[in-house]
Amino acid sequence: MPIRERLKNVASQLMDTTVATSQVNLPAFDELPKFKNFAGCAWGIWGEKDELGTVNLLTDEVVARTAKEEIRSGRRVSLNW
């Protein structure tokens, strides 16, 4: 499977509405508040003291389900540029 299709599959796993809506009521992009000159600021959705943002959607269940479908070679890449 081409990398683009695999990435779309991972994204759909992460944004599975049954997972996302059971944990937090996510607003549509147009419903997000503005921050200074930036439209669509998601700060505050998970509370004032939250430091993870949408990483909160990476529950153990989501990671396990995605790993079953996506991990094939075990190779890792660094994403901390």
Q: Domain locations in the chain? A: 3-70
Question: Residue 57's closest CA among 45, 48, 49?
Answer: 45
Instruction: Please tell me the predicted confidence (pLDDT) of residue 20.
Output: 45
Q: Is 35 helix (H, G, I), strand (E, B) or coil?
A: strand
- Alpha helices (H) in the chain, listed in sequence order: 3-14, 17-23, 60-70
Supply the pTM of this predicted model: 0.48
Token pair in block for residue 19: 């997972």
- Taking only the tens of pLDDT, the chain with its 81 residues reads 666 776 666 666 666 645 444 555 778 888 888 878 888 887 778 788 888 887 888 888 888 888 888 888 888 888 887
